[in-house]
């Protein structure tokens, strides 16, 4: 893990290491999730800077990219990584937004990364196929552009649906324990407990 070895992990326990990379002009988060027991890794969102991500793939045992949604700023490195033999996975309802991919992700699907298990959560609203990934056994959920500190991602783009994203967050994410760390597609982490009391404020402001 030469690239990541000189930087502190974003999250680490005995069995998992998560590194957070800020890539591209829109400050996208690309997360490297690595099973420490097997050395196998995955990337959540190959957003940009494909040369950096390719080097990370080689050094961190990355075999798959888990794509939270198909918006262009989250998929700029998809083609080079797929050309290098990395499996590209995306929610089934967002495949129309990608030029290329390998596998689709259904709701409530368990994706193994070495001995780690990530469970998919279909969170439509930002895009039809937006997907969050819950790291089982750890208080971690990767939410892409569905949930940020201070509210949901925008639904003003084509295919966005504000009532649907609110319902999706309320029913699928806010049922998680309040200590669950939310790792979004841009910016800083938050927790389920921090955001859950404010859902009515978001509804009232309408975005």
3-state secondary structure of 201: helix
pLDDT number for residue 1 = 46
- Reference 50, options 96, 93, 88, 1; nearest CA is 88
Strands 87-91 and 103-105 come out as parallel
In this prediction, the residues of the chain whose per-residue pLDDT falls under 70 are: 1-2
- Reference 135, options 23, 5, 11; nearest CA is 11
pLDDT number for residue 3 = 79
pLDDT digits 0-9 by tens, 132-167: 999 999 999 999 999 999 999 999 999 999 999 999
| Full set of structural domains in the chain with CATH | 2-205 (3.60.15.10)
| CB neighbour list of residue 18: distance below 8 Å, 6 or more residues apart | 9, 10, 11, 12, 31, 32, 33, 34, 140, 183
């Amino acid at each position: 893990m030469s690239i990541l070895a000189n930087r502190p992990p974003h999250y680490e326990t005995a069995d998992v290491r998560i590194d957070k990379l800020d890539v591209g002009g829109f400050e996208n988060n690309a997360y490297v999730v690595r099973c420490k027991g097997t050395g196998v890794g995955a990337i959540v969102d190959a957003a940009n800077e494909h040369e950096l991500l390719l080097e990370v793939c080689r050094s961190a045992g990355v075999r798959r990219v888990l794509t939270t949604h198909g918006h262009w700023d989250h998929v700029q490195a998809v083609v080079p990584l797929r050309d290098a033999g990395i499996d590209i996975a995306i929610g089934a309802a967002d495949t129309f937004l990608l030029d290329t991919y390998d596998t689709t992700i259904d709701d409530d699907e368990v994706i193994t990364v070495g001995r780690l298990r990530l469970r998919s959560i279909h969170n439509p609203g930002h895009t039809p196929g937006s997907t969050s990934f819950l790291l089982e056994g750890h208080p971690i959920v990767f939410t892409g552009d569905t949930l940020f500190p201070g509210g949901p991602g925008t639904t003003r783009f084509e295919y966005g649906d504000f009532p649907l994203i609110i319902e999706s967050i309320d029913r699928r994410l806010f049922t998680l324990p309040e200590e669950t760390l939310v790792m979004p597609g841009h910016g800083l982490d938050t927790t389920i407990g921090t955001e859950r009391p404010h859902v009515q404020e978001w509804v009232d402001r309408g975005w």
